[in-house]
Amino acid sequence: MMQDCYILGIESSCDDTAAAVINNGEVVSNVVATQQIHKEYGGVVPELASRAHQQNIVPVVHQALHKANIDKKDLKAIAFTRGPGLMGSLLVGTSFAKSLAMGLDIPLIDVNHMQAHILAHFIKADEQRAPSFPFLALTISGGHTQIVKVTDYFEMEVIGETLDDAVGEAFDKSAKILGLPYPGGPLIDKYAQEGNPKAYPFTKPKVSPLDFSFSGLKTAVLYFVERETQNDPDFVKKNMADICASIQYTIVDYLMDKLKNAVAETGIKEIAIGGGVSANSGIRKALRDAENDLGWTTYIPKFEYCTDNAAMIAMVGELKYKQQLFAKNNVVATARMKI
């Protein structure tokens, strides 16, 4: 029998305060407190986020240990998100992790949030296989849009990324123009199910083959809605499904174009996705279709490991623990951090 190796992961890079415990690749608890306060503002307010993290972190960690049915003395190491993210938010998790590790006299492990989104694929989950190296990872969320070539656990290279907005922002900002509440991505997805994706063609922005740009799409949606509501003030309400389906179609098609370019360039057909936007039904279907149509092998993690979570931080913690890759005690939160 494998010996227990409990690692605590702490995530506080944006607006979710999260803690999780992993034991030999299996998640034994995964707690997330999503901050509701930002809804009123239509986006994340950094100052409010760090204050909420301060309120949440103790109960969230406590709950993670409780659900794992262990005592903090059973932990082998503490892993935390060092960056990238909002400085004020990162500081809360970093200082908490440091003092806990010091108090327990166990190793402290710093984790790169973007690497964690990718390495989340190695969490053991039912019927879920892990990708084999080398693979391409597409991370798509409200904060990130990247294509990463992954050669080994800690050998990663960003081969394409957004030059402006993240794809989740493209969904959320388009939704806002349509009068939908924040975050609007899931609502666009919902309305899109009933609509015609070819109803309103939006042009896909042209940048280099592996990079992304989404700011033009948001402007195109805005002008389109302004123009149409001049003729008919109820235009959006009457055509919500078709508008959402068209926006979603454009975004998904664009993501797939970029992935195809990346496959052509690298010859790698193992494709893993992560980030909150991987919940989108359009991208999930497009990837499943690519298995048959293009001969790709695609990996989509369970939803709770796609959005910001601490299980992925604990997973990286475990991988680093096994390689004895520990942080020094003077490690600092780093808002801008490369993969």
Chain positions contacting ligand KG4, by CB under 6 A: 14, 141-143, 168, 171-172, 183, 185-186, 189, 275-277, 279-280, 307-308
Q: Which residues contact 160 (CB under 8 A, 6 or more apart)?
A: 146, 147, 208, 209, 210, 211, 212, 258, 261, 262
Nearest distance from C-beta of residue 51 to Zn ion, angstroms: 20
Cβ-proximal residue to Zn ion, closest one: 308
CB distance 259 to 136 below 8 Å = yes
Exposure b/e, 235-253, CB count within 10 A at least 16 = b: bbeebbbbbbbbbbbbbbb
> Which C-beta is closer to ligand KG4: that of 11 or that of 101?
11
> Which C-beta is closer to Zn ion: that of 120 or that of 192?
120
> Which C-beta is closer to Zn ion: that of 86 or that of 244?
86
Nearest distance from C-beta of residue 39 to ligand KG4, angstroms: 12
> Which C-beta is closer to ligand KG4: that of 72 or that of 190?
190
Q: What is the DSSP string of 63-114?
A: HHHHHHT--GGGEEEEEEEEESS-HHHHHHHHHHHHHHHHHHT--EEEEEHH
Nearest distance from C-beta of residue 118 to ligand KG4, angstroms: 13
Q: Which residues contact 53 (CB under 8 A, 6 or more apart)?
A: 12, 17, 89, 92, 93
Cite the DSSP H helix spans in 105-234.
113-119, 167-177, 185-192, 215-231
Nearest distance from C-beta of residue 49 to ligand KG4, angstroms: 12
**Of the listed pieces 39-47, 67-75, 102-110, 134-142, which binds Zn ion according to CB under 5 A?**
134-142
- How far is the C-alpha of 104 from the C-alpha of 117, rounded, in Å? 27
- How far is the C-alpha of 154 from the C-alpha of 323, rounded, in Å? 11
Nearest distance from C-beta of residue 89 to ligand KG4, angstroms: 11
Residue type, 213: S
Binder of residue 225, out of Zn ion, ligand KG4, none (CB less than 5 to 8 A by kind): none
**Of the listed pieces 56-64, 139-147, 312-320, 329-337, which binds Zn ion according to CB under 5 A?**
139-147
> Which C-beta is closer to ligand KG4: that of 34 or that of 261?
34
Binder of residue 185, out of ligand KG4, Zn ion, none (CB less than 5 to 8 A by kind): ligand KG4
Asked if 169 is part of the footprint of Zn ion (rule: CB under 5 A), the reply reads no
- How far is the C-alpha of 228 from the C-alpha of 168, rounded, in Å? 25
- How far is the C-alpha of 302 from the C-alpha of 121, rounded, in Å? 9
Nearest distance from C-beta of residue 135 to ligand KG4, angstroms: 20
Binder of residue 318, out of Zn ion, ligand KG4, none (CB less than 5 to 8 A by kind): none
Q: Note the residue count of the chain.
A: 339
**Of the listed pieces 88-96, 184-192, 203-211, 302-310, which binds Zn ion according to CB under 5 A?**
302-310
**For the packed helices 185-192 and 281-294, what is the interaxial angle rounded to 10 degrees?**
60
> Which C-beta is closer to Zn ion: that of 15 or that of 242?
15
Binder of residue 182, out of Zn ion, ligand KG4, none (CB less than 5 to 8 A by kind): none
Asked if 308 is part of the footprint of Zn ion (rule: CB under 5 A), the reply reads yes
- How far is the C-alpha of 222 from the C-alpha of 178, rounded, in Å? 9
Q: Catalog residues that contact Zn ion under the rule CB under 5 A.
A: 141, 308
